Structure 1
Amino acid sequence: MGRRHSVFTKEELEDYTDLTYFTKREVLIVYSKFKALAPEEVGRDKEVRLPMEIMLNYPELKVNPFGDRICLVFSTSKDGDCTFEDFLDMMSVFSEDAPVSVKAEYAFRIFDFDGDDMLGPDDIEEVIRRLLGDETLPPSEIAQLVQNLTAESDLDDDGMLSFAEFEHVVAKSTDFEQAFRIRL
């Protein structure tokens, strides 16, 4: 066990627990999961930045239709490559202990494909397409879904969802918190 602690200084571990929803033990578990993605690279340099292609090998990201968006949102680089700290932030937000408000903020950013701080029809259509996966719907049905979702959630009738409107939808969702979680 002492050997595992030698990866981080006591101060680093304390900082990580202060800045996340994890205990020291959980930080070390997250580190071991990060290291398992590229054992040699991470073993040589714990500050290494792993390419998105490697990050997408993490089982929960591999099966998630938004895996690339998750990497992009949590990465401190524009290309989605992640450091351990990026990965730790991601895992913290997806943890059981992260508040729904924090989860909603990141979900909004993940779904905001064009980065304009609004979920417009194109963003919602892309969310639907990704959720459908290999299933396809005629364009008219997708357009109808986008229209229905927007009509149901767009409280100010501007044709887009602001973060406040998205947060309102999330608050009504009984399974959002379960869906936006990765267990250690």
Structure 2
Amino acid sequence: MGQNSSQFTEQELQDYQDLTYFTKQEILLAHHKFKLLAPEKVGHNKNAKLPMNKMFSYPELGANPFRDRICRIFSSNHDGDCTFEDFLDMMSVFSENAPRNVKAEHAFRIYDFDGDDMIGVDDLRQVIDRLIGNEQNLSEQDMQHLIQNILDEADLDDDGALSFAEFEHVINKSPDFTSVFRMKL
């Protein structure tokens, strides 16, 4: 740990460990990976904030169709620019040690594009567009049919949108959710 830990006091490492699902060594690894995103900016400045486009150079984040939403959700200013603490929080939630309910809460926020605490038709349309990619060009009729199928399956109170409870109910029926909602350090 020697030289790598010099940027953090033992108390800071303990605090990070208490607030995440990581060990101290994993926290140091996370900081190393964060620093690799912009070594010229992070250097010895543990309070550096990286712009969203720099965050996208993290391989698993850059390949994710929701990368901008993920950065905005975890960014302390919700502008997508991330400090190390934002990055650590994000990586902790996406770690294999984060509980299912924590992952579900963050997934819901990522998919709730308009921030109204419901995943409505417009939110579902954006989720589908991002998941299938623009090259698929679903017809409007196919898109509406797909959205209606989702709502028929998951909208238990028939209000035309998914509440967090309804979303969590669907997630709980999906055994592979936690393995899909994961990024490795």
Q: How would you bin the TM-score normalised by the shorter chain?
A: over 0.9
1:108 alignment partner, SS class: helix
User: Which stretches in structure 1 are left out of the alignment for 5+ residues?
Assistant: none
Shifted more, 84-93 versus 72-81: the winner is: 72-81
- Residues in 2 aligned to 1:27 and 1:135: alpha-carbon distance in whole angstroms: 40
Q: Secondary structure at the match of 1:2?
A: coil
Other-structure match for 2:86? 86
- TM (normalized to structure 1)? 0.98
> Runs of 4 or more off by more than 2 Å in structure 1?
none
Matches within 5 A, 1:15-164: 15-133=15-133, 134-164=135-165
Residue of structure 2 in register with 1:167 after alignment: 168
Runs of 5+ unmatched residues, structure 2: none
Q: Percent of aligned pairs with the same residue?
A: 62
Paired residue secondary structure (2:48): coil
Letter of the aligned partner of 1:26 in structure 2?
E
Amino acid in the other structure paired with 2:177: F
The secondary structure found in structure 1 opposite 2:61 is helix
Q: Does 1:182 align with 2:149?
A: no
How many residue pairs are counted as aligned between the two chains? 184
1:35-76 CA distance string (max 9 Å, x none): 000001101411011000111111011110000000000000
Rounded to whole Å, the distance in 2 between the matches of 1:105 and 1:78 is 16
* TM-score between both structures, scaled by the size of structure 2: 0.98
What SS class does the counterpart of residue 175 from structure 2 fall into?
Answer: coil
Letter in 2 for 1:151: D
Distance in 1, matches of 2:67 and 2:85, equals 17
CA separation in 2, counterparts of 1:170 and 1:150? 14
Which secondary structure does the structure 1 equivalent of 2:82 belong to?
Answer: coil
Shift of 1:79: 1.3
CA–CA separation in structure 2 for the residues paired with 1:62 and 1:2? 31
Partner Cα distance (1:149, 1:57) in 2? 33
2:7–2:44 contact (8 Å) kept in structure 1? no
Tell me, in whole angstroms, the C-alpha distance in 2 between the residues paired with 1:140 and 1:92. Answer: 39
CA distance in 1, matches of 2:78, 2:107: 18
Deviations 1:17-44 (A, max 9, x none): 0000000000001001100000011014
Code of the residue aligned with 1:135 in structure 2: it is Q
